[in-house]
Amino acid sequence: MNGQLVDGVKLVGSLYTNINITGNIRADNMVGNLTLGNQTKTTYSGSYVITPTATGQTLNTNNKIMGGNVYVEEIPYVVVPNDYGETIYIG
């Protein structure tokens, strides 16, 4: 294939080649798998908005293609004034 796809064109199905692909491949919204050589990459299907927890958590993103940034919400806190300044309650 020589040339380029124009923005807004939807590519559905499979693209196979045993020749080199030169240039950039960009997919703003990819669902499925991407195989490069002998490595298959799956798209991440988990949440992209994370609320911190006291015990911690792991996002299963290893060897996955991410569709965007992960947003970690801020940890809620309250500032209470007292005779010595202020006390901060986290969580």
Residue-level pLDDT at 3: 56
In tens, the pLDDT along 4-45 reads: 556 666 666 666 677 776 666 666 666 777 776 667 778 888
Contact between residue 40 and residue 17 where contact means Cβ atoms under 8 Å apart: no
Measured over the CA atoms of residue 35, residue 31, residue 17 and residue 7, the dihedral's sign is negative
The tokens describing 27, both together, are: 């997919």
Per-residue confidence at 1, pLDDT binned at 50, 70, 90?
very low
Q: For strand 77-82 and strand 85-90, is the pairing parallel, antiparallel, or unpaired? A: antiparallel
pLDDT digit string, tens, across residues 37-86: 667 778 888 999 998 888 889 999 988 888 889 999 998 889 999 999 99
Residue pair 76/53 in contact by the 8 Å Cβ criterion: no
Identify the pLDDT of residue 71: 94
